[in-house]
Structure 1
Amino acid sequence: MTVTRCRWANPANPRYLDYHDHEWGVPCHDELRLFEMLNLEGAQAGLSWETILNKRDTYRAAFDNWDAEKIAAYDDAKVAQLLADPGIVRNRLKVAAAISNARAYLRLRAEGGSLDRLLWDYVDGQPLVNAEQPRPSKTALSDRISKDLAKRGFKFVGSTIIYAYMQGIGMVDDHDPACFRHAAHRS
């Protein structure tokens, strides 16, 4: 039996297929993964998601398994170490954004909030199923979430990045209508 996937899922990359089949578009409520994905989507800016996905394990190691408390305390020596690591995107602004995001995330938690609650409240806890083709690169909702996150001190959270993030964490199901992962095909 042939499995029909989204056109973007590179069949030559098992990591990419696994991501498509088991993560992309699947509702996520895990705080650590939500924080990780926010930073990885920001790191993707100007690059392909496949590039970032192929570096994800190195990112986890380099950024202390996305421990926000550790990241928020990074000093100049740690930043220099990160900028010398060929296993991540060595962009000073993106590294600084991860540190800013850790600090913003800790403030959110200190106020009694969470990424899970903040994000999923925008969709009343239910993923949006999009049948629009071609897929949009941003929406009015991603605009609102982007502005909210930026106001809270998060960086690299433009509307296009946030829409990709919403897809990645399952807030929106943008699987091709014929894809076996599209909501209409799931039981």
Structure 2
Amino acid sequence: MRDYHDREWGHRVEGEAAYLERLTLEAFQSGLSWSTILNKREAFREVFAGFDADAVAGFGPDEEARLMADARIVRNRAKIAAAITNARATVALRQAEGLERFVLSFAPEDAPAPADIEEMPTTSAESLALSKALKKRGFAFVGPTTMYALMEAIGLFDPHLVGCFRRGLRA
């Protein structure tokens, strides 16, 4: 967890696959610990074809059954279906600005600056707006809390506590 915090969390990512991966992993994390997802991340990358939206969008019942049988990932039927739905919605979003530009457009003007964990928000007006906009475009498992976690993870704003050595450092 420390390595994830120090080297990855809050860092900008680039490319459709990176955005789809983070969106998918945040959805799978709902109700679970983040360490569970991190420990299974390589398996998620493997079974979801490196988060190639075209490949995952083509998954059908056979692939869903394969995923449900794979103990290396979180086997939740609704979350697996959402991952496939979101890949299809990602492909469709290419007709507009694409997933990366779309998500980036919801970056807050003023980032929170919490001094301690108790002050850290779990949602924002921007995460609520992103959630609604993604749902409107056919995405699933993209609630405002999950979207806030996504925004933190991909560095849409600096999520680090005031006083954290990572605060203000952009990678």
Task: Give the TM-score, by structure 2 length.
Answer: 0.92
Deviation readout 1:13-32 (Å, 9 max, x if unpaired): xxx22221121111223221
Q: Output the CA distance in 2 between the equivalents of 1:116 and 1:59.
A: 20
Contact 1:104 1:152 in 2 (8 A): yes
- The answer on 1:123 being equivalent to 2:120 is no
Identity of aligned residues (%): 45
Deviation readout 1:95-125 (Å, 9 max, x if unpaired): 000000010000001x14212211112238x
Q: Which amino acid aligns with 1:78?
A: E
Which of 22, 25, 49 is the matching residue for 1:40? 25
Unaligned runs of 5+ in 2: none
Q: Which amino acid aligns with 2:23?
A: L
Tell me how large the CA RMSD over aligned residues is: 1.8
Which of 80, 90, 101 is the matching residue for 1:95? 80
Deviation readout 1:76-103 (Å, 9 max, x if unpaired): 1111110011111100000000000010
Q: Which amino acid aligns with 1:154?
A: F
Which of 3, 13, 21 is the matching residue for 2:6? 21
Q: Which amino acid aligns with 1:41?
A: E
Q: Which has the larger Rg? A: 1
Contact 1:180 1:186 in 2 (8 A): no
Which of 111, 124, 128 is the matching residue for 1:139? 124
Unaligned runs of 5+ in 1: 1-15
Q: Matched residue pairs, number?
A: 168
- The answer on 1:176 being equivalent to 2:161 is yes
